Structure 1
Amino acid sequence: MESEQILDSLISKGEEFLYVEWDSAYSYLKKADSLARELEEDNKLGKIANLFGTLYYVEGDYVKSIQYYSDASEIFNRTQDESGLGYALNGRGLIYLSQNQLERAIEIFNRCIEISKKLGDTYGIGKNYFNRSIGESDLGQYEKAHQSINLALEYLKDHQERVIYTMTLNRAGKIYFDEGKLNESESYYKKVLEYPGQLSNWANAFAYSGLAEVEMAKGNVRKSIELAKIAEDYVYKTRGFWDKGRVSNILMTAYEEIGNYESALKHAKLYKAYSDSLYNENKNAEISHLQLLVADADNQNLLQEKELAESSAKSNKKFTIILTIALIGLIIGFILYGRVIKQKEKINQDLLEKQKEVQIQNEKLGAINEEKNKLFSILSHDLKAPINSIKQLLELEEKGLLDEDEQKTARKLLIKQVSDTDEMLRKLLRWSHAQLDGIITNRTPTDLSAIVREQVSQLDYQIISKNIKIDYSSIFEDVQILVDPQQLRIILQNCLQNSIKFSNPDSQIKLWNSVNETDGFINLHIQDEGIGISESKMEEISSQVVRVKSTEGTQKEKGTGLGLLLVRQFMEKNQGLLVIHSKPNEGTEIILSFEKINIPVGKLES
């Protein structure tokens, strides 16, 4: 009994700090999770999983968020707890919002509203209307958004002590601001700051950021900076990338307006860093969303199994009735019994055949989804670096941070980068079109040195931005290897981008060939002078066959951890070998080994 009271107290504390202090909420929920597992309290474990889902959603880690919401759904499906299922379903709606699938999110919130109304949960109803207003506002449906936010406030009037109430007032202010109604927006933000209870860091940060946006829109730049600085103090006590990015964007715009370009550049970099982080997380969340579709199919299977069980139960009930009748009339009973047995066998046989058909279809769907997921990952991963380079060049020119000569150089780089990206996109699209039924490796005679030169030429901006020299003068000319050309491009692109990412500015990356005397394979060496890889990270890389956690580059470059996985898989598909030598602060050497063939260059197909 005492342990259950402690568990309830830990869950309550975790929920209390959910939007107030991330680390405290995490600590309470982690302890609660351990105790709930000891006590084997399934419903409490489900509630904790839901709260973890919300906690990671607030932080912007949508991948972990959907994982916890899925865990909660599994538990509450098993325990048939509609309240817990409604909470987890609401979490899925939030993930759809993060993916900009607004209509789908609104559909889910409408389902959540019906569940909460059925349960008589006024707090849940208010929260669902609040979430629905976000999707409607982002769609530009301001009249509907106002109706939803007003309904949320009505249902939450008896829950004003909870964080969701001030969140709803803040959201009302944001809707009015997006609509261009500055006075109404300002009024709601001030209501938040005049709230008589304890305000969370998140509520203060959102309200002061909102007021700063209003003052900026009114032309009161210095007042906007003053309010944004207050918001900044609060927002760094939270772990929300979206809120940090919002404040950085306000300060970047305001400082640029008053001519303080040094401060503007500082906040521009912060805004870009937070935006990049959210972008990467969102990309991972999109991939997780495809997995969620498969999970939904699994839930349909569970539903079919439930229907089968109910059908079997009904048949057994009929069978019992028939046996009772058979006691009255033995002859009639035997006849009816025989008929029921035959009918039951036929029904079960039909159901088993349908179940096998569904299982085969699901297996095919799973295999196709897996290949499509990998294909989409390759396309998005390979296009990300050149698009980011183009974006950075445009941002520098737009902010006036380049002199006339630098602008000319930047334009030449931009034209080349766009041309290279266009060519790479055409090749990727041609290749991906051929892979729609699954990724196929077509090894053909390929000129290694030509593709090395091609890939290096597409990295001009990254090389110049870090003042890095790539020396490939020692590459063998006229060397033909047996490999899939497009997969080789993906391998080289990821290896070179990683070398640049972890190289120090003003350093060198060297490429050269060697011959493996044992089997005649051609080795391609890529050696950088960067920060190297720790022993623990090397163990992780060598022991895992899935994506490893990404590490920041020497200039805080972000990654997804997908590149190394693609290199390893494509090397295996091309019957090649991948070896990595590295030590911290001593650089990294990647060795790619390919099968050599002897065919004149003129006969090679590009």
Structure 2
Amino acid sequence: MFHLILTISLIWAIPHFEQESSDKIEPEVLLDSLISKSEKYLYSEWDSAYSYLSKADSLSRLLEEENKTGQIANLFGTLYYVEGDYVESIRYYSIANEIFTKTQDEAGLSYALNGRGLIYLSQNELEKAIEIFNRCIEINKKLGDTYGVGRNYFNRSIGESDLGQFENAHRSIDLALEYLSEHQDRVIFTMTLNRAGKIYFDEGKLEESEKYYKRVLDYPGELSNWAKAFANTGLAEIQIARGNPQKALELGEIAQESVTKTRGFWDKGRLSKAMMTANEQLGQFESAYEHSRLYKSYSDSLYNENKNAEISYLQLLLANAENQDLLQKKELAESNAEFNKKFTFILILALIGLIIGFVLYGRVIKQKEKINKVLLEKQKEIQVQNEKLETINEEKNKLFSILSHDLKAPINSVKQLLELDENGLLDEDEQKTVRKLLIKQVSDTDDMLRKLLRWSHAQLDGILTKRTSTDLSEVVKEQVDQLGYQTVSKNISIDSSLVFDNIQVLVDPQQLRIVLQNCLQNSIKFSNPDSNIKLWNSSHENDDYINLHIKDEGIGITEEKLKEISSQVVRVKSTEGTQKEKGTGLGLLLVRQFMEKNQGAISIQSTPNEGTEIILSFEKINTLKENIDS
């Protein structure tokens, strides 16, 4: 009997369905095709959508496809909502809600819930509607349904716009367009563009509104009658607002051609109101009256007390059903809690037995744990000793790096002088000058080497910072004097006359020499020939500190290189000087580390092709203090 009924149903449905092949159509395939057809005409051809949905509903019930029946009920709810029959709409959404609650289909429940939100919009209960749409958005995001999320944001924008929350409405409609960007072939995409135009119109922004309506009319795909009617009616409203009633009537006539093909009372009422206003402004009161009568008729079809009462009753039934479901869940939770109590009691008894067993077992292995503890402590001691040795080894490596780095520049200077003399490039007077420079350079290097060796000998167990009261100007003068050859070879002058005399700072003297030596050598390295380097002091924002500035007129440092220097804790890649001088990249690393060890600070300011300024900040003292080890 069932097969006979199913066969009759298929025979009834197939003549109205466009077959793509001559093969026999499976019932499930036919059902999906009928649903797809109904969705296509949902917003454009009411009668066609209704016909396909009716056939699909009969077939799904014969096939006992509950989820399909629920899906069809949701589509019926939307169809009646588009027409403005909110009572029938909520009835179908209620059927879908009941089915999907039973089958636990979250996608179907979300669609039905979205429909309830639309009904709340029709009753002007906007806050409730927005709350429901927010719930739908969460569900559809979790399901990954971009079409559903876009539809929910579209509906939420309506409520926000009606509440005058235009900023929120714009945000919602923009999100709707973003989620629907991959569904531009579906009717809701042009609906969303129309809604964006309506929001701008309600906000009083006519130009922005007009752009969106025209964007709808310029849509490259197939445009529904509903979309055409909404956009042209919107353009008519804009012309009325601009004081162009004649143009508004022309646009209204165009909209009339499309709106008559739809069964949406809301759209017909909106157009009638626009036509009424335009005729009234033109003094055509007879036509204005006729459209006024139509507007009232459509409004009465949408809203009356009996309909609203029935809708409210159906909404209440749905809410009671949800509450009943929550109550059942609560009872189930209480039953589970009682079971959990009993299970917990049994579990506690089992745990007590296990604890007793562990205690007995613990006594057996207690001695073993003591032995392991002693071994672990010994292992930790060995590990600490290894770490100390590694640290000392690292400090020694750094010490050798400092010695080699600080000796490199003076040795290169001596080498260059000797090469000039060897190649016969110097006359007799220049040879005398070079010999004096050689003697001075060797003497300065010897003095520097002795100081470095004395200092390095004291650091063999690791580099220590011994801060003492040190005359900053004296050390500056000493380091400037040692750079005679480098300055002469580039014809660079170093002006330290503005460095304050007798400024006592709290610093390790030898580390201060290394810091100044590296900073000055870098300034010379990157300075152009025949330029100046200036040194001076300035007050620090903290009275306990004083600044030493070293500024050159060299090639400067790029912004990218400055970021690299300030962000890295290892050496940076060295850049060639103005006369192809090579470097190791170690200098700035030592400067940063020694300034930190001496509780000072360094900052670098530079502009490419204009020069670089290094600012060193030292803690100053007024009287001699005892040595401070850190």
Q: Structure 1 length normalisation: TM-score?
A: 0.52
* Alpha-carbon separation, structure 1, partners of 2:238 and 2:69: 43
Contact 2:94–2:112 under 8 Å retained in 1: yes
Aligned partner (choices 323, 339, 343) of residue 300 of structure 1: 323
Please say if 1:270 is aligned against 2:268.
no
Instruction: Return closer, same or farther for 1:123/1:312 CA change in 2, 3 Å cut-off.
Output: same
* Alpha-carbon separation, structure 1, partners of 2:220 and 2:113: 32
Aligned to 1:189: 213
* Alpha-carbon separation, structure 2, partners of 1:151 and 1:219: 33
Shift, 1:104, TM fit: 0.9
* Alpha-carbon separation, structure 1, partners of 2:59 and 2:341: 46
Instruction: Return closer, same or farther for 1:318/1:202 CA change in 2, 3 Å cut-off.
Output: same
Contact 1:132–1:148 under 8 Å retained in 2: yes
Shift, 1:320, TM fit: 8.4
**Once the two structures are superposed, what CA deviation does each residue of 1:23-71 show, in whole Å capped at 9, x if it has no partner?**
0000000110000100111100110010000000001111111111111
Amino acid at match of 1:21: E
Aligned to 2:308: 285
Amino acid at match of 1:26: Y
Aligned to 2:280: 256
Deviates more, 1:201-210 or 1:247-256: 247-256
Residue pairs, 1:376-415, within 5 angstroms = none
Deviates more, 1:205-214 or 1:299-308: 299-308
Aligned to 1:49: 73
* Alpha-carbon separation, structure 2, partners of 1:166 and 1:324: 62
Contact 2:91–2:314 under 8 Å retained in 1: no
Shift, 1:257, TM fit: 1.6
Residue pairs, 1:366-445, within 5 angstroms = none
Contact 2:90–2:314 under 8 Å retained in 1: no
Aligned to 1:117: 141
* Alpha-carbon separation, structure 1, partners of 2:66 and 2:340: 32
Shift, 1:84, TM fit: 0.5
Instruction: Return closer, same or farther for 1:313/1:188 CA change in 2, 3 Å cut-off.
Output: same
Amino acid at match of 2:178: E
SS at match of 2:321: helix
* Alpha-carbon separation, structure 1, partners of 2:30 and 2:341: 49
SS at match of 2:303: helix
Please say if 1:88 is aligned against 2:112.
yes
Please say if 1:39 is aligned against 2:63.
yes
* Alpha-carbon separation, structure 2, partners of 1:286 and 1:166: 33
* Alpha-carbon separation, structure 1, partners of 2:299 and 2:248: 21
Q: Structure 2 length normalisation: TM-score?
A: 0.50
* Alpha-carbon separation, structure 2, partners of 1:172 and 1:232: 22
Aligned to 2:84: 60
**Once the two structures are superposed, what CA deviation does each residue of 1:471-515 show, in whole Å capped at 9, x if it has no partner?**
xxxxxxxxxxxxxxxxxxxxxxxxxxxxxxxxxxxxxxxxxxxxx
Residue pairs, 1:443-458, within 5 angstroms = none
Residue pairs, 1:139-538, within 5 angstroms = 139-280=163-304, 283-312=306-335
Shift, 1:310, TM fit: 5.0
Instruction: Return closer, same or farther for 1:321/1:38 CA change in 2, 3 Å cut-off.
Output: farther
Instruction: Return closer, same or farther for 1:318/1:201 CA change in 2, 3 Å cut-off.
Output: same
* Alpha-carbon separation, structure 2, partners of 1:40 and 1:314: 37
Shift, 1:266, TM fit: 1.6
Amino acid at match of 1:252: M
* Alpha-carbon separation, structure 1, partners of 2:163 and 2:344: 58
Aligned to 2:43: 19
Contact 2:147–2:180 under 8 Å retained in 1: yes
* Alpha-carbon separation, structure 2, partners of 1:35 and 1:155: 33
In structure 1, list runs of 5 or more residues that go unmatched.
Answer: 328-606
Amino acid at match of 2:32: D
Shift, 1:306, TM fit: 3.2
Aligned to 1:408: none
**Once the two structures are superposed, what CA deviation does each residue of 1:345-393 show, in whole Å capped at 9, x if it has no partner?**
xxxxxxxxxxxxxxxxxxxxxxxxxxxxxxxxxxxxxxxxxxxxxxxxx
* Alpha-carbon separation, structure 2, partners of 1:186 and 1:25: 31
Shift, 1:288, TM fit: 2.4
Shift, 1:297, TM fit: 2.1
Shift, 1:83, TM fit: 0.5
Shift, 1:300, TM fit: 1.4
Contact 1:99–1:286 under 8 Å retained in 2: no
Please say if 1:104 is aligned against 2:128.
yes
Q: How many residues align?
A: 328
User: For the pair shown, which has the larger CA radius of gyration, 1 or 2?
Assistant: 2
Shift, 1:216, TM fit: 1.2
Shift, 1:296, TM fit: 1.2
* Alpha-carbon separation, structure 2, partners of 1:168 and 1:295: 29
Shift, 1:241, TM fit: 0.6
Shift, 1:220, TM fit: 1.4
Shift, 1:116, TM fit: 0.8
**Once the two structures are superposed, what CA deviation does each residue of 1:163-219 show, in whole Å capped at 9, x if it has no partner?**
110000000000111111111100000000000000011000000000011111111
Instruction: Return closer, same or farther for 1:324/1:152 CA change in 2, 3 Å cut-off.
Output: closer
- Tell me how large the CA RMSD over aligned residues is: 2.3
Amino acid at match of 1:232: Q
Instruction: Return closer, same or farther for 1:326/1:218 CA change in 2, 3 Å cut-off.
Output: closer
* Alpha-carbon separation, structure 1, partners of 2:166 and 2:62: 48
Contact 1:129–1:148 under 8 Å retained in 2: yes
Instruction: Return closer, same or farther for 1:324/1:148 CA change in 2, 3 Å cut-off.
Output: closer
Residue pairs, 1:68-79, within 5 angstroms = 68-79=92-103
Amino acid at match of 1:33: D
Aligned to 2:538: none
* Alpha-carbon separation, structure 1, partners of 2:277 and 2:76: 35
SS at match of 2:159: helix
Instruction: Return closer, same or farther for 1:39/1:221 CA change in 2, 3 Å cut-off.
Output: same
* Alpha-carbon separation, structure 1, partners of 2:163 and 2:215: 26
**Once the two structures are superposed, what CA deviation does each residue of 1:522-546 show, in whole Å capped at 9, x if it has no partner?**
xxxxxxxxxxxxxxxxxxxxxxxxx
Shift, 1:319, TM fit: 6.8
Structure 1 runs of 4+ off > 4 angstroms?
313-327
Aligned partner (choices 123, 126, 130) of residue 154 of structure 2: 130
* Alpha-carbon separation, structure 2, partners of 1:325 and 1:66: 53
* Alpha-carbon separation, structure 1, partners of 2:127 and 2:309: 16
**Once the two structures are superposed, what CA deviation does each residue of 1:108-127 show, in whole Å capped at 9, x if it has no partner?**
11111111111111111111
Contact 1:14–1:29 under 8 Å retained in 2: yes
